[in-house]
Structure 1
Amino acid sequence: MPERLADARAEEILKKVIVNYILTGEPVGSRTVSKMSREGLSPASIRNVMSDLEEMGLLAQPHTSAGRVPTDKGYRYYVDTLLQPARLGSRDKVLIDESLTRIGGEFSEAMEIIPRLLSRLSSQVGYVIAPPIKDAVLKHIEFVRLHDRKVLCVFVDRSGVVSHRIIEVAEEYDQGNLERAGHYLVEEFSGLTLGEIRARLVALMAMEKAAFDQLLRDAVTLGTRYLDAEQDERRLVLEGTTNIMKHPEFSDVETMRRLFVTFEQKHRLVNLLDRCIDQPGVRVVIGSETSDPALGSLALVTSPCQVDERSTGLLGILGPTRMEYERAVSLVDYISRLLSSLLTSHLH
């Protein structure tokens, strides 16, 4: 939490500049703030305060004759100190409640519905990240022979999320052996996380029995191959990326190109958002705080959502640093709380 400004008038002027800039996207001049001032401050007085705020790094002046715009530090002060989350209207709540009712306790449905809902309500990019694969609880797994030494593995976790991966194996398997190996893994390890399953498979590999029991050997080999390939994977769903194109900040073709490359390289967003998963409640990451140059013009509003007793995912909104933080925070907070309640109550 940044230290509060000693001058309440400076704080009020900073808020007016930020709110006006978010609405218009244009640098805010002293005359504009003067017209909004309840104290009837003159443009000259406001210019002096804005100059002080610029020296503090909270505002910047793009050109000598232009007004001021917020810096990342200014947005941070606004979010941490001045932000009053907006109250969601009844129409928004009805739409959210009806959309989440269709999920029916299945996180796989949430992965499709929530990003679209967040994007629609915010006019930004909505996203959901599944829990780390090592925390996924096994419900079903099966192996399908493709060709040569390639096998398709289909994994279904307890929350209904389906993952699939092609793995390469050292020997050829017929389909019968693959089906028996899948049945064995489900019977022995259903209800355990993939991290727990992997530890048990490693222990089984050390047993002499695994060398002589064909079914056990196949199950251990195929299971560990899949788990080794999946252990660092996270599924990320983005919706509304074209909304970014509406903002003047991204009108430059090269800026837009770099941004869409980042959207394609989803691991960069996942790595950033993973830092937020252990922190309860809504978190806002602004511009340079991302430590990724390609994301320096973006802000993320994110919150964990409880998928089950052991697993936590993330959902949120991504947009320009000039976003409506009040509405974004309110949407993310309301949806994450409601979704967590829906998913966890469904388990009992």
Structure 2
Amino acid sequence: IRNVMADLEEAGLLEQPHSSAGRVPSRAGYHLYIRSLMETQEVSESERQRIDGDLRAAPAPAERLIGTSAQLLSELSGQIGVLVTPAFGETVLEAVDFVPLSGRRVLCVVVSESGFVENKLLESEEEIGRDELVRISNYLTENFRGKTLRAIRERLLAMMREERAQVDRLLARAISLASQGLEPRGERDLVFEGTAQLLGHRELLLDVDRVRRLLDAFAERQHLVALLNQCLDGNGVRVVIGEDSEVTSDLGLSLVARPFGVEGGARGSLGILGPSRMPYERIIPLVDYLGESLSRALLESASRRGERG
């Protein structure tokens, strides 16, 4: 056995984290196991029913589906469930509404085809009445529904330079408000559930500095968002272990993730973050099934809104 262990260590499949520790699988060892040796376990019927039932019961808007999915990922895996929402600028417009507040302040409400809702407080150049805001909302919805918010904003900025916008007051106000309301945010939203789950792992409880780095990563968010963004390409599940990324290497964790979203529309990604020794044979199919189920739920939600419209 010692000879076999030595051969595996020489091949880079086992490693010894520190002198007093035993040998554990390396990043390469885990990937070899997942790629060539692992026998995946199907998601159980009870888990499928739980996932599909909870997603069907989640009320609109789409953000509720996202929150429910993060909770399901965490509870069914015993790890941390993480999601990043689709990029605001890549979502497809369903409707836009401008609501007068007080003085020159206006609330812009943007609803995407997949059900995501974005609220933004704007300051108009002059006070605009409710009736005119309704006309502006109707004009933008009727003329730009079905286009991405980024494409709409680019078109509006081009229209600002056209002669018609100089003489048409309603159009000029519509362009001004919409260009502010549809301005993309800097990054996607990160949603996560179950950070307390990892504190149940003995190796983390004994490593206070590692726990601090983990909590800092969730507080700062941008590094985890960047990691999940790497999983947007393709349609399958991606496994990120240890030195595969700076984030997982620093935290000593692994990520199992896949994209979700309506076909042809903006996409986000979801996954499970946990120790490198997590049961991949169960986690990988769970992430895959939940990604498919969330995509289907978003599509059904969009279809229901289309029927009502």
The TM-score normalised by the length of structure 1 is 0.77
Could you tell me which residue of structure 2 aligns to residue 298 of structure 1? 253
Could you tell me which residue of structure 2 aligns to residue 285 of structure 1? 240
Deviation at 1:322, TM superposition (A): 2.2
Are 2:190 and 1:241 equivalent residues in the alignment?
Answer: no
Are 2:262 and 1:272 equivalent residues in the alignment?
Answer: no
> Can you list the C-alpha shifts for 1:93-142, whole angstroms capped at 9, x where unaligned?
22123223324896333212111111110011112222222221112223
| Structure 1 residues 197-216: aligned runs within 5 Å | 197-216=152-171
Change (3 A) 1:346 1:266: same
Deviation at 1:201, TM superposition (A): 0.6
Deviation at 1:236, TM superposition (A): 2.3
Please, which of 58, 62, 71 is the counterpart of residue 116 of structure 1?
71
Q: Which moved more, 1:257-266 or 1:115-124?
A: 257-266
Could you tell me which residue of structure 2 aligns to residue 54 of structure 1? 9
Could you tell me which residue of structure 1 aligns to residue 118 of structure 2? 163
Deviation at 1:332, TM superposition (A): 0.8
Are 2:204 and 1:250 equivalent residues in the alignment?
Answer: yes
Deviation at 1:312, TM superposition (A): 2.2
The answer as to whether partners of 1:249 and 1:320 remain within 8 angstroms in 2 is no
SS in 2 for 1:284: strand
The answer for unaligned runs of 5 or more in structure 2 is: 304-309
C-alpha distance in 2 between matches for 1:188 and 1:210: 15
C-alpha distance in 2 between matches for 1:261 and 1:65: 28
**Higher RCO (C-alpha 8 Å, min separation 6):** 2
The TM-score normalised by the length of structure 2 is 0.86
The answer as to whether partners of 2:115 and 2:301 remain within 8 angstroms in 1 is no
Could you tell me which residue of structure 2 aligns to residue 324 of structure 1? 279
Aligned identity (percent) is: 43
Change (3 A) 1:101 1:146: closer
C-alpha distance in 2 between matches for 1:250 and 1:323: 13
SS in 2 for 1:246: coil
The answer for unaligned runs of 5 or more in structure 1 is: 1-45
SS in 1 for 2:86: coil
Deviation at 1:186, TM superposition (A): 1.6
Could you tell me which residue of structure 1 aligns to residue 139 of structure 2? 184
C-alpha distance in 1 between matches for 2:103 and 2:252: 47
Could you tell me which residue of structure 2 aligns to residue 224 of structure 1? 179
Could you tell me which residue of structure 1 aligns to residue 306 of structure 2? none
Q: Pick the structure with greater CA Rg.
A: 1
Deviation at 1:320, TM superposition (A): 1.9
Could you tell me which residue of structure 2 aligns to residue 93 of structure 1? 48
C-alpha distance in 2 between matches for 1:294 and 1:143: 46
Q: How many residues align?
A: 301
SS in 1 for 2:209: helix
Change (3 A) 1:340 1:65: closer
